[in-house]
Amino acid sequence: MTGYHHKKKGIGILYTDTYLVNGARTPFGKLCGTLGSISPTDLGIYATKAALEKAGVDGEDIDQFMYANIGQSSADSYFLPRHVGLYSGIPEEVPAVMLQRICGSGFETIIAGAEQIALGKAKATMCGGTENMTLSPTVSFGNRMGYPLGRIDFKDMLWEALNDTAGVPMGCTAENVARRYQISKADANEFAKLSADRAIAATKAGFFDGEVTPINSTVFEVEGLNPRKVRLPKGVENFTTDENIRPANLEAMAKLPSVFEKDGVQNAANSSGIVDGAASVVVAHKSVVEEKGLQPLTRIVASATSALDPRYMGLGPVPAIRLVLEIAGLKLEDIGLIEINEAFAAQFIGCERELGLHRSICNVNGGAIALGHPLAATGTRLSLTLSREMNRRGVRYGIASACIGGGQGTAILFEHVN
């Protein structure tokens, strides 16, 4: 492992002999949909148990458990990574930690897992994130101290998650990007339709079947621990498909009102879907891969995280991608596939124009506008989807990246090894 630090460009690492073995995710449930009542802890358990199976390893093979959750939305959220690990079959002796870099948190768990391996503190790590945005609470800060007469104050934490009080609301950062790059509403709607069309095609072709684990009503039981009962809504026995995906019609989209600014380009159809879901992957050293005869999806080559003006938050992938390429000694032309999280259509298009990307190799199975953006799980999902598509196409190098609230960006460079 070789670390990199530049006060202007950001931070990064070049890895040696570290692999993304395989992983799994839940289907993503739409806001107030099928997964709306399921704890983020339980969603994480579903994904992690399936990830172990997909990777071909046992819980005993995992040395550290790295997990993310942004909007704490259940009473046991303080214990979330520990509970996900224990109920997934990870031995009680294995430590668990929660990481948080907002929309980049899923990436951060992979980066941290790879770092622990490079430092000799682990040979195999479980990495991932979980989010139930439907259960995001309405809170009253300070209620323990009482209220002045007539001044009871409640906040919707889901709404607050979209508002950077130091800069501008997340959606308004996309409008800033749209102005800078002269992106029209028609441009944004056209890209959103492409995301939906690609996600529908990928679903029909069965591509996501290789990463989605079915969700059924069940009881997670571990000796010595209280059982966790999970119940799907009445009439649902087997939940298997991303629920936010729907056909897109440009004529209908053009009639939708702007959400964040009067006459802005962003509307409900060209912004990322608010969804519930979890994703997990196994990251392991070459020695584990060889010893157990595993077939990893990709090698983790390098990672980078950069920061920029919060008012242009959506451009975060630009410096992060440039830095990860610099660290690895590669050029953009060397990259065969790219995943950039679709927080907003204008945000993606801004990155596309600034970097000079070819849309034909970006988000080829659709992105967050269609699938949804479960904050803590997104980076893990992007890494898994990209790695699987790299194997399907035989592409050597791929990059997964995302903008991050507050003005940051993270990118991970993967290499196809099979």
Would residue 103 show up in a list of annotated catalytic residues for this protein?
yes
| Beta carbons of 301 and 14 less than 8 angstroms apart | yes
- Helix (H) or strand (E) holding 139, with range, is strand 138-139
Query: How would you label 45-75 residue by residue, b for 16+ Cβ within 10 Å and e otherwise?
Result: bbbbbbbbebbebebebbbbbbbbbbbbbbe
Closest CA to 19 of 286, 228, 214: 286
Residue 102 domain flag: yes
Residue 358 domain flag: no
pLDDT (tens digit, 0 to 9) for every residue of the chain, 418 residues total? Answer: 799 999 999 999 999 999 999 999 999 999 999 999 999 999 999 999 999 999 999 999 999 999 999 999 999 999 999 999 999 999 999 999 999 999 999 999 999 999 999 999 999 999 999 999 999 999 999 888 888 888 888 999 998 888 888 878 899 999 999 999 999 999 999 999 999 999 999 999 999 999 999 999 999 999 999 999 999 999 999 999 999 999 999 999 999 999 999 999 999 999 999 999 999 999 999 999 999 999 999 999 999 999 999 999 999 999 999 999 999 999 999 999 999 999 999 999 999 999 999 999 999 999 999 999 999 999 999 999 999 999 999 999 999 999 999 999 999 999 999 7
- Joined together, the tokens standing for residue 397 give 């190098």
- Joined together, the tokens standing for residue 262 give 């009067």
pLDDT at 150: 83
Closest CA to 317 of 10, 4, 1, 2: 10
Residue 19 domain flag: yes
- Joined together, the tokens standing for residue 403 give 């903008």
pLDDT at 15: 97
Which domain covers residue 92, as residue numbers?
A: 2-137+212-240+273-292
pLDDT at 165: 82
Q: How many domains does the chain have?
A: 1
Q: Tell me the three state secondary structure of residue 304.
A: strand
pLDDT at 60: 97
pLDDT at 99: 97
Q: How far apart are CA 416 and CA 413, in angstroms?
A: 10
Name the catalytic one among 127, 351, 362, 403: 403
The model carries a pTM of 0.97
Name the catalytic one among 103, 172, 351, 362: 103
Residue ranges of alpha helices (H) inside 56-184 are 80-87, 105-118, 157-160, 170-180
pLDDT at 218: 97
Residue 389 domain flag: no
Q: How far apart are CA 172 and CA 241, in angstroms?
A: 31
- Residue type at 270? N
* Sign of the CA dihedral running 316, 322, 323, 324: positive
Residue 246 domain flag: no
The set of residues, in sequence order, having a beta carbon less than 8 Å from that of 392 and lying 6+ positions away, is: 207
The set of residues, in sequence order, having a beta carbon less than 8 Å from that of 116 and lying 6+ positions away, is: 63, 64, 66, 122, 125
Residue 109 domain flag: yes
Query: Which domain CATH number covers 284?
Result: 3.40.47.10
User: CA angle at residue 118 from 63 to 330, to 5 degrees?
Assistant: 130
Residue 340 domain flag: no
Residue 6 domain flag: yes
- Return the bridge partners of 219, or none: 229
